[in-house]
Amino acid sequence: MATKPSDMTPVVDLTRGKGAGALRWRRPLYLDLLPPCNEACPAGENVQAWLALAQAGKYREAWEVLVRDNPMPAVMGRVCYHPCESACNRGELDAAVGIHAVERFLGDLAAAEGWPLPVDAAPSGKRVLVIGAGPCGLSAGYHLARLGHEVEIREAGPLAGGMTHFGIPAYRLPRADLMREIGRIEAMGVKILTGHKVEDVLAEERDGRFDAVFVAIGAGIGKHVEIPARDAVRVLDAVSLLHNVTTGEAPRLGRRVVVYGGGNTAMDAARTAKRLGAEEALIVYRRDRAHMPAHAFEADEAIAEGVKIKWLTTIKEIIGPDLTVEMMELDAKGRPRPTGKFETLKADAIVLALGQETASGFLRQVPGIEFASDGAVKVGPGMMTGHPGIFAGGDMVPGEQSVTVSVGHGKLAARHIDAWLGGERYQRQAKHPLVSFAMLHLPVYSDADPSLEKTLALAERLHGFEEVVSGLGEKEARYEAKRCLSCGNCFECDICYAACPEDAIQKLGPGRRYRFDYEKCTGCAVCFEECPCHAIEM
């Protein structure tokens, strides 16, 4: 940020005639900027901070910083689609930092070491009911407990976890790892009551003497579409398929399975069909790969396991084992339109993966609550519904649906509920300006290739639901953390200290960074030009 001469006094005494180079009217300032990984994380993690601790070998401290925002790092390190890595500036240099792999390492290490989740505040005397023990409800319960509130989570299903338990296949998320992190939330005092379906929210709030309610029931109902059918083969939705596989009630799908849809759930359903014995699993999707909602790596993994994808195709009619499909084309705006060209496919079973809806009907008896056309519950900026004291979040409210978003919603809801219980309104703190790759001063070469997680051999994957991706060991995880460029924040590399020609930079000791001596500084900007992470501005 250049400053005009009329806005400030000179940096140096012009009569002294001292200093390297021309005397200038600007001076360097240390500052903190927002790294793109932090900005991109839907759970609001301080990614750069815990990576810095992990690279120093301070793993428990790194985990404690991580769980300030996300209580389930072992889960998130496995199932999050890691938008932090898509935003990582290092991707412009060689390859993004494997943030999810380091997060998983810390989560697994915490489980192995038995590190307990902390509680920060004294008991508040307030009680909060959370409806739904999925990732959003668990996150809200955890954060509310850390704020000192007594929390009870009531879950309709037989086990906690929601869609992480019944919707994500075990080859991506082993159930033991999930249940360990849920158990740690319970150990800090959050009560989870399973097999308890809430049908009258106001009665449960009143009878349980709760001061607030947070509804986080997710979106666990598979969407259907009207397709003309006569003597159709077995048709089921992907959500039910994945749920039944988890509960040990996997259906017989036959030799040829068609999955209709193009999202992540479609990829999981097709990969699951292969593991259930299908010789052919074919995904039919009405748009092309560039417009599919599934993440690219999800599609890549499915294709690697033998799943086929028929792009620009839609199902028009089902007669017995025959599917009439129509070829589509995209218009100028990327929307599919029919071509009038048809083809016949054979299938023993059809799995519909067309998205999910929420079972919010039980809330319609609550005065003030409003709904979107698909049943999603509308909330205000403070995540409260139209009924005072009843909040909602996660997949059941309009917006993006993912585990990471749900965990972030749970944290944010806890902040809003805590403020409301105290008669206040929660306000998010303003963020620092974002630092881009172009702002960094990096060497033109890189000699730090990323650590790659090992994967189960393709020949071994289709014989069961063993976890496909294995995590990093301590050595690899620490190395990967060291690949972080510390974008926008000083990490005490001493480059500015060594580069200053006037000895105008003072070291303040480990963890305390530096100070400029403006009596010596000439404003030459060498420190700014040499700082690799742009933690200095002129």
Q: Confidence band (pLDDT; 50, 70, 90) for 24?
A: low
Which ranges of 422-464 would DSSP assign to H, the alpha helix? Answer: 458-461
What's the pLDDT at 223? Answer: 86
Helix 175-187 / helix 135-146 crossing angle, nearest 10 deg: 30
Q: What is the distance of C-alpha 537 from the center of its chain?
A: 32
Q: Let me know if residue 459 belongs to a domain.
A: no
How many structural domains compose the chain? Answer: 4
Q: Based on the fold, state whether residues 166 and 180 are members of the same structural domain.
A: yes
What's the pLDDT at 22? Answer: 46
Q: Based on the fold, state whether residues 41 and 5 are members of the same structural domain.
A: no
What's the pLDDT at 338? Answer: 94
Q: Let me know if residue 533 belongs to a domain.
A: yes
Q: Confidence band (pLDDT; 50, 70, 90) for 233?
A: confident
209: left (phi over 0), alpha (psi -120 to 50) or beta: left
Computed over every residue of the chain, the mean pLDDT equals: 92
pLDDT of 388 strictly over 50:
yes
Q: Based on the fold, state whether residues 145 and 215 are members of the same structural domain.
A: yes
Q: Confidence band (pLDDT; 50, 70, 90) for 228?
A: confident
Q: Let me know if residue 353 belongs to a domain.
A: no
What's the pLDDT at 11? Answer: 39
Q: Let me know if residue 346 belongs to a domain.
A: no
What's the pLDDT at 6? Answer: 35
Least confident range of 22-31, 207-216, 224-233, 398-407: 22-31
Q: Based on the fold, state whether residues 203 and 137 are members of the same structural domain.
A: yes
Locus of tokens 């060497």: 443
Are 485 and 89 in contact, with CB atoms under 8 Å apart? yes
pLDDT of 421 strictly over 70:
yes
Q: Based on the fold, state whether residues 383 and 332 are members of the same structural domain.
A: no
What's the pLDDT at 277? Answer: 95
pLDDT of 336 strictly over 70:
yes
Q: Based on the fold, state whether residues 134 and 210 are members of the same structural domain.
A: yes
Model pTM score:
0.91
CATH number at residue 51: 1.10.1060.10
Between CA 135 and CA 241 the distance in angstroms is 20
CATH number at residue 402: 3.50.50.60
Q: Based on the fold, state whether residues 250 and 335 are members of the same structural domain.
A: yes
Q: Let me know if residue 496 belongs to a domain.
A: yes
pLDDT of 21 strictly over 70:
no
What's the pLDDT at 10? Answer: 37
What's the pLDDT at 354? Answer: 93
* Coil, strand or helix at 25: coil
Q: Let me know if residue 374 belongs to a domain.
A: yes
pLDDT of 393 strictly over 70:
yes
How many distinct helices (H) and strands (E) make up the chain? 18, 20
DSSP string, 114-176: TPPPP--S---S-EEEEE--SHHHHHHHHHHHHTT-EEEEE-SSSSTTTHHHHTS-TTTS-HH
Helix 47-55 / helix 99-113 crossing angle, nearest 10 deg: 70
Q: 448 is in which domain, residue-wise?
A: 36-115+441-454+466-482
Q: Confidence band (pLDDT; 50, 70, 90) for 19?
A: very low
Q: Let me know if residue 352 belongs to a domain.
A: no
Least confident range of 165-174, 180-189, 364-373, 437-446: 437-446
Q: Let me know if residue 432 belongs to a domain.
A: no
Q: What is the distance of C-alpha 369 from the center of its chain?
A: 28
Which of 294, 310, 341 is a domain's end point? 341
Q: Based on the fold, state whether residues 106 and 206 are members of the same structural domain.
A: no
Q: Based on the fold, state whether residues 208 and 143 are members of the same structural domain.
A: yes
Q: What proportion of the chain, given as a percentage, has pLDDT over 90?
A: 87
Are 302 and 263 in contact, with CB atoms under 8 Å apart? no
What's the pLDDT at 202? Answer: 98
Mean per-residue pLDDT, 113-134: 95
Q: Based on the fold, state whether residues 73 and 133 are members of the same structural domain.
A: no
Q: Based on the fold, state whether residues 183 and 274 are members of the same structural domain.
A: no
What's the pLDDT at 229? Answer: 82
Task: Render the burial of 99-114: b for 16+ CB within 10 Å, e for the rest.
Answer: bbbbbbbbbbbbbeee
Q: Based on the fold, state whether residues 244 and 174 are members of the same structural domain.
A: no
Mean per-residue pLDDT, 500-525: 93
What's the pLDDT at 4? Answer: 34
Mean per-residue pLDDT, 319-342: 93
pLDDT of 13 strictly over 60:
no
